[in-house]
Chains A and B, each alone.
Chain A
Amino acid sequence: MSALNLLLGIVVLTGAVAALSLRNLVHCAFASIGAFLGLAGLYLHMGAEFVGLVQILVYVGAVGILFVFAILLTRGGGVEERPLFSTSWLCGVGVAGALALVLLSGLFKGADPSDPAASRPSPTLKQVGQRLMVEDVLALEIMALLLTVASIGAIVIAMPEPSRKEEDPT
């Protein structure tokens, strides 16, 4: 566990906690983007160059911008005056905390998995491309279809409905 890894882990966790607890929604969005960037750093540090860069491109360049736009479109730009958390927040935190306890205890109780990968795998982009385009090409095609359907569906859902008055002549 290197210092850089630890630092990136702290960035990710603080970003995530801040994103879900800040009062100003735009700050939440920026904090979540910080967490995504930290994750991208972790991926890059693990040697997954392609995935790390895709993480930046998708999460910072697209998803973060989408969050910000959605916040502004739902008038969430200001500071929230009303309570942030639901009345049963204790329950939610309890469930999440219990899950964390279970996961962590399982993680550290089991046999200590030693690092077998002494050699750093760093697949070249060509290998990744071969894998995507040759072996997993069906999954890729399905993914392309899914993305097309999702984008068309998103446009259809978010399109303004024709106002009732125009529809109804009465």
Chain B
Amino acid sequence: MMEGLREFCGMIWKVLSDQPDPKAAFLPLVPEAWRVEVSALLSVLPILMVFPALFALTTVLERKGLGRIQNRPGPNRVGPAGFLQFAADGIKTLTKEDVVPRAADRVLHFIAPLALVVPVFLTFSVLPFGRNLVPLNLDAGLLFFFAVGASTELAIFMAGWASRNKYSLLGALRGIAQMVSYEIPLILSTLSVVMVAGTMSLPAIVDAQAAGSGDLLSRWHVFTPWGFAGFLLFLVAACAEANRAPFDLPEGESEIIAGYYLEYSGFKFALFFLGEYLGLFAACGLGITLFLGGWHAPFRFMEAWVPSYLWFFAKLAGLVAVFIWVRGTLPRVRMDQLMNLAWKFMLPLALINLFAAALWHFLGSTPAGWAITTGLLVVSYWSLGRILMPPGRIGRRVYRYAGEGPA
């Protein structure tokens, strides 16, 4: 009994510490005929368990964080310090009545939440979560990510159209317009990484950012001029792709109530909510993989102490916190501002960034490379900003009744 327990603990430890193949500890125990299935299950189950759990935790932490930003305590009733709020919310949504409008297209109304959640789960399959921890090591991993991610737009349209509600349809059309527009800067900003790393396989891109033996700091792409600009572009575009504030027009509560999931309740609504957050996690994971060194620690010596996947999840938590922070800060943009930002500012800047990455490819990490790419990006950012928002057109806001208004 004790012996078996110790063996089991050893096995868990083998999986948790960075092994060449984490599944190798389990697979010999399984009969030969079942190995393929069990191996697939071992790849899929952690994703199905870890990310929804992370979603549950994030909803609570986000509400608490937003509360603190607004100087209020946030949810603090259920469980210790309110941390079981997600359980209460989950029970509530699961036991709620599932309302389907009479005019709705029942079949599509039913399929839409599934069509949103399934592709989002699929996008996780190409992300390297840790050393040797990638469920599907595709040669065209990045292409897979975007190809699968593109089908969420269809799910959004399905939800909006099947509900037979004008607000739903408006929200869906807004969502599609926004996602199609921001997909271009998103893909272009990641292409700079593909160009420099010379591969579309995500584990290979992570390897390209590993610190050499002589380096003090890791060679993360974010520490280069084009990588920094690309990372910022990626963050903004990912924010818009995930329909998060300040780009949450598709669900804009004050204008179109809840957008495309207005007519959803109960479990289906929970699925939409889950899909949205999982999309955010996937986008953050891609950003980490492409720009923030994936599962690598910032310094080489740190990698010996802490398992690689913990670095990945720490970075994920940091990025999600940034998104929550942005949500707590910025108000929702207007539709024309949204489109102007995508087409007039981010698209040219992403193309210039691609050019800068090409220059970097030829010049390398030399002083000349640094100076030229940085100069190019700063000048183009500054001039595009001047064109988009000429100073003087937007004056200082004067409040009539409060503060510094005319006496």
Contact = CB atoms under 8 A, between A and B. Distances in A.
B30 interface: no
B161 A56 contact: no
B144 A60 contact: no
A126 interface: yes
B138 A61 contact: no
Contact of A65 (B144, B147, B148, B157): B157
In the complex, which range does the number of interface residues on chain A fall in? 20 to 34
B38 interface: no
Nearest to A78: B164
Contacts of B148: 56
A24 B164 CA distance: 14
Contacts of B144: 53
Contact of A61 (B147, B158, B201): B147
A125 B147 contact: no
A62 B146 CA distance: 12
A167 B140 CA distance: 53
Nearest to A24: B105
B27 interface: no
B151 A61 contact: yes
A26 B173 CA distance: 14
Contacts of A30: 108, 154, 158
B108 A54 contact: no
A79 B176 CA distance: 23
Q: Among B105, B151, B173, which residue has the most Cβ atoms of chain A within 10 A?
A: B151
Contact of B199 (A60, A77, A126): A126
A41 interface: no
A148 interface: no
A48 B211 CA distance: 34
B330 to A, nearest CB: 28
Contacts of B146: 57
A39 interface: no
B302 interface: no
Nearest to B176: A65
Contacts of A65: 153-154, 157, 176, 180
Interface in A122-146: 124-126
B200 interface: yes
Given A26-B161, A65-B180, A77-B161, A56 B147 contact: yes
B151 A56 contact: yes
Interface string A19-56: 00000101100100100000000000000011001101
Nearest to B198: A126
A30 B200 CA distance: 30
A64 interface: yes
A68 interface: yes
Contacts of B161: 26, 68, 72, 77
Kindly name the residue among A49, A56, A62, A72 whose own CB sees the greatest number of chain B CB atoms within 10 A. Answer: A56
Contact of A49 (B138, B150, B173, B183): B138
B241 to A, nearest CB: 12
A69 B183 CA distance: 17
A26 to B, nearest CB: 6
A37 B166 CA distance: 29
B143 interface: yes
Contacts of B180: 65
A3 to B, nearest CB: 16
A53 B150 CA distance: 11
Nearest to B148: A56
A26 B172 CA distance: 14
A110 B199 CA distance: 43
Sorted from nearest, which 9 A-B pairs have the closest CB atoms?
Answer: A61-B150, A56-B147, A57-B147, A53-B147, A53-B143, A125-B139, A125-B140, A60-B151, A124-B139
9 contacts: A27-B108, A49-B138, A53-B140, A54-B147, A61-B150, A61-B151, A65-B154, A72-B161, A125-B140
Interface of A: 24, 26-27, 30, 33, 49-50, 53-54, 56-57, 60-62, 64-65, 68-69, 72, 77, 124-126
